[in-house]
Amino acid sequence: MIARDLIKGSVAVIGVGAVGSIITYALNEADIKPVLIHRNARVAELYREHGVKVEIPSEGERIIEGLHTTYDSIQPGSIGLAFICVKAYNVRNVLSKLPRLLNKDSILVMCQNGLGSTELAEKIVGPNNVLQAIIGFGANRVSRHEVRLTGIGPSYVGPKCKGVPSTLHAVAKHVSELLRVINFIYVDESEGYRWVKLGINAGINPVTAILGVKNGVVSDDAYARSVALAAANEVKEVAIAKGVFLPKDPANALLSVARNTAENYSSMLQDVRSGRRTEVDYINGSVYLEGLKVGRACLVNYTLWNIVKSLERIRSRSMTR
Ligand SMILES: NC(=O)c1ccc[n+]([C@@H]2O[C@H](COP(=O)([O-])OP(=O)(O)OC[C@H]3O[C@@H](n4cnc5c(N)ncnc54)[C@H](OP(=O)(O)O)[C@@H]3O)[C@@H](O)[C@H]2O)c1
């Protein structure tokens, strides 16, 4: 079978923010103009009018191309492959709107950091129709219609675990080829990669958000480093207790990401500063809750979770005054 025939319908990107725009850029490079689904007609119209400019370090500026539309305007059952690129706390809402648009062969690619999104998607379409993308690039929204790619590390795409039909593996390989320009790599089991990324995020994100510092402080300052590494080591313990095979040590991976992104501000810090909700519930919160299920008290993650929740609340109150 020709690879593109594996996808039974159109390619869609849901959530045209930082990640969704970069994925759309890569799809455009592979000659695909995806359906870009916005939350409502007003937002879709704004995007049609202004477009989205992506800034790619070696390439310069590009306008991403696709059909800006809404859930209501799409033909039932017509989406074959959907990249879900909203924040973790918006996934439930997106999934509630999708069943009408999907068919029995539709595949969802979940792009969120943290835990929970894949599991929600599996409940809607079943585990044989869900892929995980563990995003290794960094992207920021410079403005509503402008996204900057800040760095490219390897991203991984594959089924959560082995033991799914070979067609799902074939689609994952095809997705990695479509997104090759942004360094996507197919893996036959993505769960370990998700937990390594969870370890990195569980350490760097809350520590930088609480201290209000760039990522480099996590590798350079002994106190910040010890808290971040303790959080990553708890993630490792829970993963091992759950039987997840880790392709890398999360603490070592955290240190190298902190060094390589030393000048960056983490997304959690940016969210706290802007008074937006963070994804801490899906990162440190879910590590703590998963830990309880396997008899591990992840108290570093519990503490970081609660401090960031408190910061979120204080900050959003001060912004609404
Ligand atoms: N950015 C990165 O470098 C990066 C790296 C690794 C992983 N990730 C993960 O990728 C996910 C997305 O992050 P992001 O940085 O791309 O976030 P983002 O820039 O905020 O983009 C999310 C987009 O989803 C839209 N949206 C929200 N609810 C929607 C709905 N119901 N239907 C359609 N669109 C909806 C948002 O619109 P509004 O703006 O109107 O709310 C926004 O455009 C997160 O889970 C994050 O952890 C991000």
Cα 279-102-189 angle, rounded to 5 deg = 55
> Ligand 1 atom 6: the closest Cα is on which residue?
135
| 3 state SS for the chain | CCHHHHCCCEEEEECCCHHHHHHHHHHHHCCCCCEEEECCHHHHHHHHHHCCEEEECCCEEEECCCEEEEHHHCCCCCEEEEEECCCHHHHHHHHHHCHHHEEEEEEEEECCCCCCHHHHHHHHHCHHHEEEEECCEEEEEEECCEEEEEEECCEEEECCCCCCCHHHHHHHHHHHHHCHHHCEEECCCCHHHHHHHHHHHHHHHHHHHHHCCCCHHHHHCHHHHHHHHHHHHHHHHHHHHHCCCCCCCHHHHHHHHHHHCCCCCCHHHHHHHCCCCCCCHHHHHHHHHHHHHCCCCCHHHHHHHHHHHHHHHHHHHHHHC
Which ligand 1 atom is nearest residue 43's CA?
A: 40
Q: Output the CA 117–ligand 1 centroid distance in Å.
A: 13
Q: Which residues contact 150 (CB under 8 A, 6 or more apart)?
A: 137, 138, 139, 140, 264
> Ligand 1 atom 18: the closest Cα is on which residue?
17
Query: How far does CA 137 lie from the centroid of its chain?
Result: 10
Q: Output the CA 127–ligand 1 centroid distance in Å.
A: 23
Q: Output the CA 14–ligand 1 centroid distance in Å.
A: 9
Pocket-testing residue among 22, 24, 25, 85, ligand 1, by greatest number of atoms within 8 A of Cβ: 85
Tens digits of pLDDT across the chain (321 residues): 666 788 999 999 999 999 999 999 999 999 999 999 999 999 999 999 999 999 999 889 999 999 999 999 999 999 999 999 999 999 999 999 999 999 999 999 999 999 999 999 999 999 999 999 999 999 999 998 999 999 999 999 999 999 999 999 999 999 999 999 999 999 999 999 999 999 999 999 999 999 999 999 999 999 999 999 999 999 999 999 999 999 999 999 999 999 999 999 999 999 999 999 999 999 999 999 999 999 999 999 999 999 999 999 998 888 876
Q: Which residues contact 299 (CB under 8 A, 6 or more apart)?
A: none
Which ligand 1 atom is nearest residue 16's CA?
A: 43
> Ligand 1 atom 3: the closest Cα is on which residue?
138
Phi, psi of 64 (to 5 degrees): -75, 145
Tell which residue, 238, 235, 266, has the closest CA to residue 253.
235
User: Would you please indicate which residues are annotated as catalytic (active-site) residues?
Assistant: 197
As for ligand 1, residues whose beta carbon falls within 6 Å of it are: 14-20, 37-39, 85-88, 90, 93-94, 111-113, 135, 138-139, 141, 267, 279
pTM: 0.97
> Ligand 1 atom 35: the closest Cα is on which residue?
15
Q: What are the chain's domains?
A: 3-189 (3.40.50.720), 192-316 (1.10.1040.10)
> Ligand 1 atom 47: the closest Cα is on which residue?
113
Q: Output the CA 85–ligand 1 centroid distance in Å.
A: 5
Pocket-testing residue among 13, 16, 19, 24, ligand 1, by greatest number of atoms within 8 A of Cβ: 19
